[in-house]
Structure 1
Amino acid sequence: MEKQMKAWRLEKLGGKLELKEAPVPQVRAGSVLVRVSVSSIVPYLKAYRDGKLAVYNPPPQEFTIGSNAIGYVEEVGQDVWHLKPGQRVALSSQIIARDNVKSPMTILLGITKNGDAALSAQLDWTNGTLATYVLAPVESLTPLDGLEKYTDAQLSAVTKFAVPYGGLLKGQLAAGETLVINGATGSFGTCAVFLTVAMGAAKIVITGRDQSALAKVAAKAGNRVIPVVLKGNVQDDAQSIREAAGGGIDMAFDMVGNAQDPNSTLAALLSLMPGGRLVIMGSMAVDLPIPYTYMMINSLSILGNFMYPKDAIRKMLELIKSSQLPIDVIEPKIFKMEQLEEAMDAAEAAGNLQNVMINCQS
């Protein structure tokens, strides 16, 4: 008889979501069976479930939802050489085809795929982490050795930090540089603040429209962090950013969420010194108008970035082990397996210093 487990199964976007009994996956070459401890709940999961996010491209059949997780290796398949049963691991939902090609297909486990061309990858790795067990490709797992002082719930923040870390790596942030973070009071933006402190930025200007929220982040992150409240006028806001930095900005990092106008992003762009770069990772409901001649004369760069490279979490763990990155500033909010509806509501309403998750063993 097949061993069974509990799993949150979604019929389709806008369809029925139920906690069901499902077979425990069988390992195969290149895979690892993980006993899921905690699974993070993304803020948009309820809207995703209800079919309100048209850009997402889910599996064409009933599947287990859930993205990033912390768990323990239960069993490994052939061609898995380093991970061992019992080892604690972080599971990243991002799966990039291992084929040596120019444009490898990408999926987010339990969420979406990067276009219809990635269907074959999604069919190989259909089910996500809101289950007692999940089967994942070995390259999506990072060992969490040497972090015994942190609980599973605290380490769940690792995958939240990894997203902005990918953008900071793309922008090649160097120690001693000056940075502006637009959207610094959002969940990922706040993580970016603590990351840039850990990575050695000399000054970090954080922007937004909520003075109280900016002040709270700055108070926790230290005296290199300078809050600037934006007023909505692009030129004036750019000048305020430059003045706060004591000159121009080397790098702008845009993590603004669901912006209805481009003004704050443009202010960050126009605060850059000649040769500066803007990394965009946020979500904007309108296009970004580019000042062509200004960009050319000042040798500015705009870099788009999605997610993070495969080794990002492993690299970031060294910042945590050396006490440079305080992941415990993020408060875990833990719900039981059957409380997914409440957890989705809590994730939607969560503050920037909170991380909502499901205990998949409860």
Structure 2
Amino acid sequence: MRAAVLTTFGAPLTLQEIPDPVAGGGEVVVEVLATSVPPYAEEVFSGRRKYPLEPPVVPGPGGVGRVVSVGPDATRLRVGDLVWVDPTVRSRDDALTPDITLQGWSSRGEGGARLARHLHDGSFAELMRVPTENVHPLPAEASDDPARWSSVGVYLIPYGGLLAGGLEAGETLLVSGATGNLGSAAVATALAMGAGRVVTPGRNRAVLGLLADRFGPRVRPVELIGDEATDRAAMSAAAEGPIDMVIDLLPPSAPSPVVRTAAMTVREYGRVVLMGGVGMLGGDDLALPYPWIMRNSVTVRGQWMYPRSANTGMIRLIASRALDIGQERVRTFPLDAVNDAIGYAAAHGGPFDRTVLTPPVC
């Protein structure tokens, strides 16, 4: 099969012929129809984000495909099934604290690295080998536009944070980083889940207007000026009532005071979920006042990715039209234009912009 290979950090990906993967026990081989290229992919492949990939490697975080072969323990999957491939792979030998790798993308700790060496290659290829439990059937309608459906992976990340924070219908949510690629996905997902209001702070006036125009009065945009006290007051005023939950999805380049300003708008007994990248590339870490957390009974938790059950939940949200992906701007590239796709994704990383590789049918 053909695959795009990262031979070393800082070098362009190269298209190579490599052996077809073979499914073992507990595994499935999938023909890749569409796979998302994240806006920050160039930062990963250049080495600037310091992701623990081990070149040479076929990168790529999951995607949409068709089942080619299944292992002997699969009882419901069939060859030809249209599926979503979840890149979040968990070890099977510790149900309480499993090691995790994002297949073809990243990992956590030495256990995650060992898992990544076993399931080394991702979705920038014609075929990929994945664990059976990471393959999720899609509705037949997804076959009409698999490139658009590959955005499942973008929405799953904030969905995991909203589930972790226990967002309930009618509640008010503040999305820190709302004008970014993941932040805007969080806005759309929260509204699909029934949020009463979503406060969307940011500096990009055009994007704030886009969010308000697309989603209507349930979205409350706030243009930030950079002063903590003023910005916090403006966000609280926009909510027109208590803010039940804050989710942070800001990138590593964001300064920590921006996260703190947003987090400290949450009400007494409120929840703060941290999913962004602040501090990962150096700079000040997040500092929240101990007395404020304690005296207001605020819950602060981190969340990396999402539980396995979130895949089914997200597919249902999209299939039911509660979450509308029809208005997204999708640009597709063939596998042999992978480096063009990476450059395009970096330049088009705004809200509802999707860059997708569509490897040819084998």
Alignment TM class, shorter chain as reference: over 0.9
After superposition, where does 1:1-362 map in structure 2 within 5 Å? 5-15=1-11, 17-54=13-50, 56-59=51-54, 61-148=55-142, 150-285=144-279, 286-350=284-348, 351-361=350-360
Alignment partners' CA distance in 1, 2:142 and 2:346: 30
Is 1:203–1:226's contact at 8 Å kept on the other side of the alignment? yes
Is 2:139–2:319's contact at 8 Å kept on the other side of the alignment? no
Report the CA distance between 1:32 and its aligned residue.
0.6
> Which one-letter code corresponds to 1:349 in the other structure?
A
> Which one-letter code corresponds to 2:53 in the other structure?
P
- Normalised by the length of structure 2, the TM-score is 0.94
Alignment partners' CA distance in 1, 2:266 and 2:6: 45
Is 1:146–1:321's contact at 8 Å kept on the other side of the alignment? no
Cα distance, 1:112–1:259 mapped onto 2, change above 3 Å: closer
Alignment partners' CA distance in 2, 1:361 and 1:199: 35
What percent of counterpart residues are identical? 32
Alignment partners' CA distance in 1, 2:266 and 2:296: 9
> Which one-letter code corresponds to 1:294 in the other structure?
W
Instruction: Spell out, residue by residue over 1:209-247, the C-alpha distance to the aligned partner (whole angstroms, 9 max, x if none).
Output: 111111101211222111011111222211111111112
Instruction: Spell out, residue by residue over 1:296-337, the C-alpha distance to the aligned partner (whole angstroms, 9 max, x if none).
Output: 111111111111111111111221222110022322110111
Is 2:32–2:63's contact at 8 Å kept on the other side of the alignment? yes
Is 2:174–2:200's contact at 8 Å kept on the other side of the alignment? yes
Where structure 2 has 5 or more consecutive residues not aligned to the other structure, the ranges are none
Instruction: Name the SS of the counterpart of 1:327 in structure 2.
Output: coil
Report the CA distance between 1:259 and its aligned residue.
4.1
Instruction: Name the SS of the counterpart of 1:63 in structure 2.
Output: coil
Alignment partners' CA distance in 2, 1:279 and 1:195: 15
Alignment partners' CA distance in 2, 1:101 and 1:321: 30
Instruction: Spell out, residue by residue over 1:184-229, the C-alpha distance to the aligned partner (whole angstroms, 9 max, x if none).
Output: 0111100111111111111111010111111101211222111011
Instruction: Name the SS of the counterpart of 2:211 in structure 1.
Output: helix
Is 1:276–1:301's contact at 8 Å kept on the other side of the alignment? yes
Instruction: Name the SS of the counterpart of 1:328 in structure 2.
Output: coil
Is 2:155–2:185's contact at 8 Å kept on the other side of the alignment? yes
Alignment partners' CA distance in 1, 2:239 and 2:45: 42
Instruction: Spell out, residue by residue over 1:27-83, the C-alpha distance to the aligned partner (whole angstroms, 9 max, x if none).
Output: 1111111010011112222222222222x1113x52212112110011111111121
> Which one-letter code corresponds to 2:230 in the other structure?
D
> Which one-letter code corresponds to 1:291 in the other structure?
P
Alignment partners' CA distance in 2, 1:222 and 1:124: 47
Alignment partners' CA distance in 1, 2:263 and 2:242: 11
Instruction: Spell out, residue by residue over 1:154-202, the C-alpha distance to the aligned partner (whole angstroms, 9 max, x if none).
Output: 1011111001000000000000111111110111100111111111111
Instruction: Spell out, residue by residue over 1:4-24, the C-alpha distance to the aligned partner (whole angstroms, 9 max, x if none).
Output: x11112223335631011111
Where structure 1 has 5 or more consecutive residues not aligned to the other structure, the ranges are none
Alignment partners' CA distance in 1, 2:251 and 2:104: 22
